Amino acid sequence: MKAFNIPEIYRSEFITTIKKGRQEKDRLKRDFMPSILDFGKVRIHLARHFGFCFGVENAIEIAYAAIKENPGKKIYLLSEIIHNSHVNMALQENGVRFIMDTAGNQLIPWDEIKREDVIIIPAFGTTLEMERILKAKKIQQIYYKSKCPFVEKVWTRVSQIANNDYTVIVHGKPDHEETRATFSHSKSVAPSVIIKDLQEAILLADFILDRRPPDEFAKVFKDRYSEGFNVMQDLTRIGVVNQTTLLASDTQEIADYLMQTMREKYGINEEDTSAHFANMKDTLCYATNDNQSAVISMLSLDADLAIVVGGYNSSNTSHLVELCEEKVPTYFISSSDSMVSDDKIIHWDIHYQRLKVTSSYLPDKDAVVIHLTSGASCPDILIENVIIKLLSFYNLSLN
């Protein structure tokens, strides 16, 4: 796999050594059990896979290349390059400005941006509508290759479905940049609709099976279907693609449910669904799959708690939190700064979308066992800092 030129501020020699050691012993990635870091009073189960993925490293490398190659020019990102505040802040400190926030709200008016300025496309890609704006502005220097190749793979699947006259069902979070971009590309080539979870897949199935009148569709899926969508015609042949950072089990459950719905509707057997359902292979990225598999294996071991590090608006990280919460008390933090002391931690509640303060999060026992992982947009140095902070509470160090 390609080695990227990533700034040293994101790297950790300690973590790199661990990762290289695991890779050399397990080149085929068949062992998903965690690395055991035993410091006596603290025992850390470090997930087999975590941290920057291919797409994130690619995006960061290109962003810094844009800075280096364009001295004196104004450089803009359409929005956050990835969902990690530390990475985005470092880019801002290097003079990069964000045109929009992650919700698509304008931060810098378009009339301030000139054709000679530099634009970087985030890892999530962007919508066709945004591409048309950039074309109309006649921007001369646009860094498109910062897009994640696995997001582009989803768009390729969209084209494959569309070329075979299937309607595209996009499984994703409607307000996520990646889902918005995928839907934009999808609706330009095929009837399309976004569903966010299994409950909405069930609602969609109600329309497929004629359990709900077609005139309710517009209300149920408001602002999430393509123009001119015909419920009676466009739900006879469907295919599912997904946001790359979702929980694998959720994606599979939705695809299986909709495939079974088409079997029920048209009385077809398990061997022959292609006339009404495009059985596309899973479009989750490799890092999402590997990170989730590593967490599942890690959770097979006993621990007192889990710590997950990453951006609070990171989809793939939030799903690692969901997995951990099923087994142990879990604390979702952005950095070691969230660990105020050995008795106080500030962490993100993914259910209520707010910060919480928890006391006595580290149990009072001779040896504390902690599961530790991070999302695909989290720099390794943040994991090292968390380990150092944890050890400091017990008068221990890495050395």
User: What DSSP assignment string belongs to 276-310?
Assistant: TEE-PPP---HHHHHHHHHHHHHTTS--SEEEEES
d(CA 99, CA 80): 9
pTM assigned to the model:
0.92
- Give catalytic status of residue 80 as yes or no: no
Contact 231, 240 (CB under 8 A): no
In order along its 399 residues, the chain shows pLDDT tens digits of: 677 899 999 999 999 999 999 999 999 999 999 999 999 999 999 999 999 999 999 999 999 999 999 999 999 999 999 999 999 999 999 999 999 998 889 999 999 999 999 999 999 999 999 999 999 999 999 998 888 988 999 999 999 999 999 999 999 999 999 999 999 999 999 999 999 999 999 999 999 999 999 999 999 999 999 999 999 999 999 999 999 999 888 988 999 999 999 999 998 876 678 889 997 766 778 889 999 999 999 999 999 999 999 999 999 999 999 999 999 999 999 999 999 999 999 999 999 999 999 999 999 999 999 999 999 999 999 999 999 999 999 999 997
Work out the angle at residue 338's Cα, subtended by the Cα atoms of residues 39 and 172, and round it to the nearest 5 degrees: 105
d(CA 171, CA 246): 9
Domain positions in the chain are: 8-53+286-392, 54-146, 149-278
Q: 57, 80, 177, 178: which one is catalytic?
A: 178
User: Candidates 3.40.50.300, 3.30.1360.70, 3.30.420.610, 3.40.1010.20; correct CATH number of 8-53+286-392?
Assistant: 3.40.1010.20
Amino acid sitting at position 238: I
> For residue 281, what pLDDT is reported?
64
Q: What is the mean pLDDT of the chain?
A: 94
Task: Say whether 149-278 and 54-146 share the same fold.
Answer: no
Q: Name the CATH topology of 149-278.
A: Cobalt-precorrin-4 Transmethylase; domain 1 (3.40.1010)
Contact 176, 246 (CB under 8 A): no
Nearest to 69, CA basis, from 32, 103, 86, 94: 94
Contact 35, 17 (CB under 8 A): no
**In CATH, what number does 54-146 get?**
3.40.50.11270
State the DSSP string of 342-383: TTEEEEEETTTTEEEEEES-S--SSSEEEEEEE-TT--HHHH
